[in-house]
Amino acid sequence: MLRSRYSKAIRILPFLAVVALPIGGCRRHQPGPRQLLARFFDTAVQQDYAATWQCYDSAYRSKIDQQEFVRRRREASRLQAWRLLSLEDRGSQANALVELRFGPSERLNRPTSVTKTVAEQLVRESDGWHIKVW
């Protein structure tokens, strides 16, 4: 009888380990500042501004309505590409230098693309990393 229970436990252990490993792994590995920057700028390039808005810190999101943000972004110059130049992670804060390429803009009277370098500040909040707006 004891041997039967022991052998059942031995057969169940590998199954439990396989099920528990992904759950525990997700909790330990929260996306970092590099992944946030990729999500932030990739969604802007794709013009998914509702997703871009989610990348901002909670203070900024409490000041500007998501629909208003999306409307403003659609009126602004379109981001075509981005490239991370540097990233300095300081634990709960990070600084990044990013090269951005914006497309031509009739509204801004700009017939050609333009490249700009911007500094981004990131902050870790309770739900993960976000772009800090002053």
Q: What pLDDT, in 10s, does the model give residues 61-116? A: 999 999 999 999 998 889 999 999 999 999 999 999 999 999 998 888 999 999 99
Strands 93-102 and 114-125, bridge-based pairing: antiparallel
Q: What mean pLDDT is predicted for residues 27-47?
A: 88
* Spatial contact of 45 and 81, defined as CB atoms under 8 Å apart: yes
* pLDDT beyond 60 at 14: no
Does a structural domain hold residue 10? no
Does a structural domain hold residue 84? yes
Does a structural domain hold residue 16? no
- pLDDT at site 24: 37
30 vs 91, higher pLDDT? 91
Does a structural domain hold residue 73? yes
* Spatial contact of 66 and 72, defined as CB atoms under 8 Å apart: no
The enclosing domain of 96 has a CATH number of 3.10.450.50
Name residue 16's amino acid.
Answer: L
Does a structural domain hold residue 60? yes
Does a structural domain hold residue 7? no
Q: What pLDDT, in 10s, does the model give residues 46-75? A: 999 999 999 999 999 999 999 999 999 998
Does a structural domain hold residue 124? yes
Q: How many domains does the chain have?
A: 1
CA–CA gap between residue 91 and residue 68 (Å, rounded): 32
Q: Is 87 exposed, middle or buried (0-12, 13-18, 19+ CB in 10 A)?
A: middle
- pLDDT at site 134: 81
Domain that holds residue 122: 31-132
CA–CA gap between residue 57 and residue 94 (Å, rounded): 13
Does a structural domain hold residue 59? yes
- Residue 33 has a CB neighbour count (10 Å cut-off) of 24
* Spatial contact of 37 and 94, defined as CB atoms under 8 Å apart: no
- pLDDT at site 108: 87
Distance of CA 79 to the CA centre of its chain: 16
Task: At 16, list the tokens.
Answer: 């439990």
* pLDDT beyond 80 at 35: yes
18 vs 36, higher pLDDT? 36
pTM: 0.76
- pLDDT at site 11: 53
